[in-house]
Chain A
Amino acid sequence: MSNKVLINCKEASTICDKTEYKEATKWEKIKLNIHLFLCKKCSLYSEQNVIMTKIFCTHLLNHPDHIHLPGKVKDDFKAKLKEQMN
């Protein structure tokens, strides 16, 4: 990434994605904040990106259907494991 303070939307969106994973550098964050101050489209992208992270994390980590494996599957697992132990 360049040393310019003013960046375009493409660069801004990449930094924005990095911030979702706490991987943007200080300098990148400064450039991003200046861009967000000037650009409505990217501000919206940035806000919505936070929502995207949140809903996907919440949904995928708290899987609502807790599945119990059928007894037969577990018996198969046990048999294979026993076989391996001997």
Chain B
Amino acid sequence: MTDEFDQEPNVLDPNKWIDLYADYLFNYTISRIDDAEQAKDIVQETFLSALKAMKNYRGEASERTWLVSILKRKIIDQYRKMNSKKGKAEIRVSFYETGGKKGNWLEECVPQTWSNEAEIAFESKELGNALNNCLEALPDKYKAVFKMKTIDNVETEEICNELNITASNLWVIIHRARLQLRKCMEESWFKK
């Protein structure tokens, strides 16, 4: 997408939406919801919702930015649906809960040195696959919260409202997601 579109006066033209933005919105969605069918449906719904919401468009944002803002709501809705499904393997406890070592790392969760840290500086398809596999192994709820926070920079308060959780719930989820992702990456990518 070139800048030309952003510089034109901000008027909505639904007849051009599909040709101009369908690919962009689809790619935006697929990097967050990794299911092509679901992503397609979400993009479709976005266009339909946009059509209904046209009268609310104030012309401040570019057409594409405006469509993306509608798409984001749809993606969060989708995350919320995922939220109700049961998770797979789940790390629940990573610290001693009681006793003299309360609050210390459990032996199996102690961070290990990664000897090939430097190699991750460059991107590769293999790294991408490893990251995807690890994300896939997360329970849906963890995956949703981790992605919303890490990639979409959604405000903590907004996520809490959307998913009906408290801020401390959210940080517990983030921590468990990160620990599980670390463990998974330690097994598949980083060399201890």
- Spell out A's residues near B (CB within 8 Å): 7-11, 13-14, 17-18, 20-21, 23, 41-42, 44-45, 48-49, 51-53, 55-64, 66-69, 73-74, 76-78, 80-81, 84-85
A70, chain B: closest CB distance, angstroms: 10
Query: Which of the residues A41, A58, A60, A67 comes within 8 Å of B26, measured between beta carbons?
Result: A67
Q: List 20 A-B contacts (CB under 8 A).
A: A7-B103, A10-B104, A13-B95, A14-B171, A17-B175, A21-B153, A21-B156, A41-B111, A44-B111, A48-B114, A55-B120, A56-B135, A59-B127, A60-B131, A60-B151, A62-B123, A77-B44, A80-B47, A81-B14, A81-B17
Interface of A (DSSP majority class): helix
A9 to B96, alpha carbons, bound, how many Å? 10
Which residue of chain B has its CB nearest to the CB of A54? B120
Contacts of A62 in B (CB 8 A): 123
Give the contacting residue for B48; candidates A13, A20, A58, A81; CB below 8 A: A81
B23, A68: Cβ atoms closer than 8 Å = yes
Report whether B151 and A77 are in contact in the complex, using a CB–CB cutoff of 8 Å: no
Chain A residues, Cβ within 8 Å of B123: 58-59, 62, 64
The reply to whether B22 and A13 form a contact with Cβ atoms under 8 Å apart is no
Which residues of B sit under 8 angstroms from A41, Cβ to Cβ? Answer: 105, 110-111
When A and B form their complex, which 10 residue pairs have the shortest distance between CB atoms, in order from nearest? A8-B103, A10-B95, A44-B111, A10-B103, A45-B111, A63-B31, A77-B18, A59-B131, A78-B18, A60-B151
CB proximity of A7 to chain B, nearest CB, Å: 8
Q: Does B149 contact A (CB under 8 A)?
A: yes
CB-nearest residue of chain B to A49: B178
